[in-house]
Structure 1
Amino acid sequence: MFIMKNALLPTLENARKYTLEVAEAMPAEQYHFKPANGIWSFAELLHHIGYGIFWWEENFMRQQEGEWAPPAATTTKKATIAYLKQAFDHLENSPGENEQGFHATIDHITHHRGQATIYLRCQGIEPPTYIY
């Protein structure tokens, strides 16, 4: 049986810490930044990571099919970081029993967090040092 308090907890904590460091690195006034037209802003990208945590946990860890219906994206640094923290707390306390679903969720976080580091570089900001 998969229990979040097992050996995977350090993986979750590393993902949380690094994601929040990336979120903190962007100045509040640049949360609207888009590297190109037609793509998410930095805030929208991080909000997608947060919503993705909720959705992947429900669909893949608890295996309860849920509709993809994200709420309106947060727009401020403070609200976006609060939403990310809430999502990571939810994942940590998940009763989900599917370890493969956990890894899929972490993979989704990593994929989009990598994009967020490029947004930082486009603003001349060196991303935080990657932790693993």
Structure 2
Amino acid sequence: MKNETLAPVVISPNDLLTQWQGHRNLTRRVIEAFPEDKLFSYSVGGMRPFSELALEMIHMAVPSVVGIITGKWKSFGESEAEEKPTTKAGLLKLWDESTEKLNELFPHIKLERFQEVENAFGQYEGTNHALIFYCIDNEIHHRGQGYVYLRTLNIEPPFFWERN
């Protein structure tokens, strides 16, 4: 028997994307739950409005996958849209475009790229799979802030376990 070192596989890339997109589906429903006037202005304890948190998620997702595919990283925010949306419909449009782009690009990540260490955006050094988990964790964290905002507005947020 050969002395081989095999990389452990716990989840397939397709299952990882499905998990991520489940979180994105839930976050989209949180955006939808906000009243138009509160999405861009409401905050608690000095935190940013939820629209800004959602834009951060948008500006991390596709640029992270592009960086993993190409090995070329722009500075964080360099890929951001010139104009920020000012309506819920505009924000949801950007969200949906980002979601479609993730579905298109993610399958192009070569398996070995998940284990490679890089300095994403010139500031996050680690394996590429850890960066994907960071994107998901960051989204969960900010979605939690959105839940707090909704509750303080007396709006019932979507159930956190319903990700489809």
TM-score (norm 1): 0.80
Q: Taking CA–CA contacts closer than 8 Å with sequence separation of 6 or more, which of the two structures ends up with the larger relative contact order?
A: 1
- Matched length: 129
* Amino acid paired to 1:113: R
The alpha-carbon deviation at position 3 of structure 1 amounts to 7.5
Which structure shows the higher strand fraction?
A: 2
Distance, in Å, in 2 between the alignment partners of 1:38 and 1:129 is: 25
State the alpha-carbon separation in 2 of the partners of residues 56 and 122 from structure 1.
33
5 Å-filtered alignment, 1:5-44, equals 6-36=14-44, 39-44=47-52
Q: Please report the RMSD computed on the Cα atoms of aligned residues, expressed in angstroms.
A: 2.4
Where 2:15 maps in the other structure, the secondary structure is coil
Q: Calculate the TM-score normalised by the size of structure 2.
A: 0.66
Unaligned runs of 5+ in 2: 1-10, 115-127
Segments of structure 1 that go 5 or more residues without pairing to the other structure are: none
Please tell me the residue identity of whatever aligns with 1:27.
P
**C-alpha spacing 1:46/1:92, structure 2 compared with 1 (3 Å):** same
Would you say the 8 A contact 2:150–2:157 is kept in 1?
yes
The partner residue of 2:66 within 52, 58, 63 is 58
Question: 2:159 is paired with a residue of what secondary structure?
Answer: coil
CA deviation profile, 1:88-108 (whole Å, cap 9, x unmatched) = 211122223326143232222
Using the aligned pairs only, state the percent identity: 24
